[in-house]
Amino acid sequence: MTDVPTTPAPTTAPRVSRTTAASRVAAVVALPVVLLLAALPYLAAPNVTRLLVDLFTLVLLATMWNLLAGYGGMISVGQQGFIGLGAYAVLVADLFGVNPYLGLVLAMVAAAVLALPTALLVFRLHGGYFAIGTWVVAEVYRLVTVEFRAVGAGSGASVTGLSAVPPVLRGAITYWCALAAVVVAIGGVYLLMRSRLGLALTAIRDEPTAAATLGVRVRSAKRIVFVVAAAGCGLAGALIAVDSLRVQPDSVYSVQWSAFMIFMVVIGGLGTIEGPVLGAVVFFAIQQLLAPYGAWYLVVLGAVAIAAALLARRGLWGLVTLHRDVRLLPTGHRLRQDR
């Protein structure tokens, strides 16, 4: 071999970066925004915070469904089962004289505990059949619930434990709970996806068989996601209960919740953290605008979801980020060559 001039080594080695410029800005902006939102009950009228509770509940649901489908690869149309359980957990807590706000925590626990045996069953199904399987389980929850007279059987019951709290204060506490729930959910998913589990999930989503042979524990990773998503949906159901103070089985266990979740996530952008939040905001606006038109608005919603699934696979957030690196909450790793 003759002497070959060696190429000079780069002065700095490439670095793995986990942030983007946008994410650093977002980190700085996030805290003041959250603080501002937290102060809102002192600044805005109660009907504003009341609307925001609805919005936050939707954001929470969308984030959970995205965790399942976008990161876990599991399309569920049975999350209403956990929403219903959460709502009823508040009702049961109330019956036993427990503070309904404490019921929020109980709801998460109850949903997570029931999610374990549910996962055992539905994980035997795949793809679309998994979807319907979760739906059957949700139906079972509903049918079993309505057998209990103590919680009002088929017609439901009211949450009475908060009647002593003045409405303005009650509204504010509910609002803070909803805000906290959203912050915890988004933050939690963000941290979850940046953890080893997130890496495993990405591997599973891209190449399940290869991931399995490389020792990624596919089942347990999926089970964790399923349980976390169930807890989140249970919390959402509990928020609905303390917000409306009334729990009706046909409403809290309605498959329409799944329709809403799917719509929000598909419109916003599956598999990103920002997308579902954006989707929830868009959905909330559409709901406010079109609700007077009755079922037609759902027809439009369904049609838009079809169009988005076929034409804009990455959703609105995908369009926003088409040519820009504006990941506010980046979960991946990027190689950077510093000069």
Partner 1 sequence: MTWVNAIVQGLLLGGVYALFACGLSLVFGVLRIVNLAHGDLTVLAAFLAVVATGTLGVNPLVSLVVVVPVMALLGFVLQRALLHRSLQGGELAPLLVTFGLSIVLQNALLQTFSADTRSLPAGEFGTASLQLGDGLAVGWLALSTLVVAVAVLAGLQVVLARTPIGRAMRATSDDPETAALMGLDDRRVYAIATAIALATVALAGVFYGMRGTFTPTLGPQLLIFAFEAVIIGGLGSLWGTLLGGLVLGVAQAVGAQIQPSYGVLAGHLVFLVVLAARPSGLLRRKELR
**Residues found near partner 1 in the complex (CB under 8 A):** 69, 73, 75, 77, 120-121, 124-125, 127-129, 131-133, 135-137, 139-140, 143-144, 146-147, 255, 258-259, 262, 266, 270, 294-296, 298-299, 301-303, 305-306, 308-310, 313
Question: H or E element: which one contains 62?
Answer: helix 46-66
Q: How far is the CB of 75 from partner 1 (least distance, A)?
A: 5
Nearer to partner 1, 117 or 332 (CB): 117
Residues 6+ apart with CB under 8 A from 136: 78
Decide: helix, strand or coil at residue 293: helix
Closer Cβ to partner 1, 292 or 294, answer by number: 294
Pick between residue 56 and residue 135 the one whose CB is nearest to partner 1: 135
Give the count of alpha carbons within 13 A of 103, CB side only. 31
DSSP-derived 3-state class of residue 269: coil
CB of 303 to partner 1, least distance (A): 6
With respect to partner 1, which residue has the nearer C-beta, 34 or 259?
A: 259
Distance in Å, CB of 124 to partner 1, minimum:
4
Specify the residue, 285 or 307, whose C-beta has the smaller distance to partner 1: 307
CA-CA distances (angstroms) from residue 274 to 26, 49, 89, 127, 269? 11, 22, 30, 25, 8
Complex with partner 1: residue 162 or 308, whichever CB lies closer: 308
* Closer by beta carbon to partner 1, 127 or else 332: 127
Shortest reach from residue 43's CB to partner 1, in Å: 37
DSSP 165-221: S-HHHHHHHHHHHHHHHHHHHHHHHHHHHHSHHHHHHHHHHH-HHHHHHTT--HHHH
What tokens does 265 get?
A: 């996530």
Rounded to the nearest whole angstrom, what is the least distance from the CB of residue 273 to partner 1 in the complex?
18
CB 272 within 8 A of CB 317: yes
CB of 316 to partner 1, least distance (A): 15
Residue 101 or residue 284: which is nearer to partner 1 going by CB? 284
What crossing angle do the helices spanning 167-194 and 218-244 adopt, rounded to 10°? 170
- Angstrom CA distances, 113 to 108, 109, 241, 258, stand at 9, 6, 20, 21
Q: Give the contacts of 14 (CB within 8 A, at least 6 positions apart).
A: 335, 336, 337, 338
Residue 25 vs 307, nearer CB to partner 1: 307
Residue 148: CB minimum distance to partner 1, A = 12
Shortest reach from residue 259's CB to partner 1, in Å: 5
Residue 132's contacts (CB-CB under 8 Å, 6 or more residues apart) are 77, 125
Residue 302 C-beta: closest distance to partner 1, Å: 3
